[in-house]
Amino acid sequence: MGIPATLLPPRWILGFALALLGARLRAQDIQVPPPPFTEGIFPCSACHDGKTLKVNPVRRELQGMHADIQLQHGPASRWCLDCHDPQDRDRLHLASGEKISFKVSYELCGQCHGEKLRDWRAGVHGKRTGSWNGPKQYLLCVNCHNPHSPHFQALKPMPPPVRPEAIQARRGGAL
C-alpha cells in the first residue's frame, strides 16, 4: 500500500514498541520466582556505577572480586560480558544488544538453548508445579542450573528399598 514514509512513526519508536510487545508476549502466563541472587549481590550497580569502576571489556580471568565464580559454561571463548550487560550491570543483554531483566533471564538462555526454552515453556523441561488443569508455577533456569556452571549437580540418593528377604513378621500388629 502506499503510505507516505513521513506518516510512519520513527524507527526507534517502532523498535521500542516491538520490544515491549515481545517482552509482554514472552512473559505472558509464566509465573516464576524471583531470581536467586546471592545475599547482598544485587543491585550490581551499587559497585558497577560506571564511575568508580571502569568497564574493562577485555576477556580475562577475574582477580579479586568475583574470582570465586567458576565459569564452566560452553566454549572457552565465552566470558562474563557475553551475558552481563557492560553498561547496565543490573541487567543482562541478548545477542542483539537488547537489555533484559534478570527476572526473565530465560530469554537469554533460550538464545542458545532454543529447544530447551521451547520445552520449558510447554512445561516439559524442568520442574513445574501447580495444577494440571489450572495455573502453574515455573522455575527460572537458574533455579536449577547455576548459570556460571550449569551442569546439574549430583544428589545423594535416598535409601534403597528393603530386600524381600529382610521383610519379617512383626509381633503386636500395627505400630
Partner 1 sequence: MTCPHPPEGPEPGRRRFLGAATTAMGAALATLAGCGRDQVEAFLQHNFRELTPDELRDTVARLEREARSKYGKEIHIGTEPALPGVLFGYALDLSRCIGCRRCAKACVKENNQSRGPQIEWIRVLQMDKEQGVDVTHADPYYDPELVPQEGHFYMPVQCHQCRNAPCTKVCPVGATWQERDGVVVVDYNWCIGCRYCMAACPYGARRFNWGEPGLPAEEVNPDTHYLGNRPRPKGVVEKCTYCIQRVRKGRYPACVEICPTGSRKFGNLADPASEIRYILEHKRVFIFKEELNTKPKFFYFYGV
Partner 2 sequence: MGTPRAWTRFAKDSLGHILVGNRLYYAWVGFLVLLIAVGTAAYLGQLRDGLVVTHMRDQVSWGFYIGNFTFLVGVAAAAIMLVIPAYVYDWEPIREITVLGEVLAISALVMCLCFVLVDIGRPDRFWHILPLVGRLNFPTSLLAWDVIVLNAYLLLNWFVVTYLIYCSYTRRHYVKALVLPLVLASIPMAVSIHTVTAFLFNGLAARPFWNSAILAPRFLASAFCSGPAILLVLLQILRKVTSLRIKDEAIFKVAELMAYTMGFTLFLTAAEVFKEFYSGTQHLMYTRYLWFGLKGHHALVPFAWASAACGLAAFLLLLIPRTRRHWPTLNLGCALIYASVYIEKGMGLIIPGLTPDPLGEIYVYTPSRTEILVALGIFGVGFLAFTLMLKVAVPIILGETTVDGRQAGRAVGPP
Question: Which spans of this chain sit near partner 2 (rule: CB under 8 A)?
Answer: 164-165, 167-171
Contacts with partner 1, 97-126, as mask; x by CB under 8 A: ----------------------x--xxxxx
Backbone angles phi, psi at 137, to 5 degrees: -110, 120
- Choose the one of partner 1, partner 2, none that binds residue 165, judging by a C-beta under 5 to 8 angstroms depending on kind: partner 2
Query: Binding to partner 1 by residue 132, rule CB under 8 A?
Result: yes
What cell was used for 61?
580471568
Residues 135/127/101/33 CA torsion (nearest 10 deg): 60
- Choose the one of partner 1, partner 2, none that binds residue 171, judging by a C-beta under 5 to 8 angstroms depending on kind: partner 2
Give whichever of 40 and 161 is closer to partner 2, judged by the CB atom.
161
Interface residue with partner 1, options 95, 134, 140, 142 (CB under 8 A): 134
Burial of 174 (0-12, 13-18, 19+ CB in 10 A): exposed
The rounded distance, in Å, linking the Cα atoms of 34 and 85 is 19
Interface residue with partner 1, options 58, 131, 151, 165 (CB under 8 A): 131
The rounded distance, in Å, linking the Cα atoms of 153 and 162 is 27
What cell was used for 75?
566454549
Q: Which stretch binds partner 1 (CB under 8 A): 2-10, 94-102, 104-112, 158-166?
A: 158-166
Dihedral angle sign, alpha carbons of residues 43, 92, 83, 98: negative
Q: Under the rule (CB under 8 A), what is the footprint of partner 1?
A: 119, 122-134, 144, 152, 154-163, 167-170, 173-175
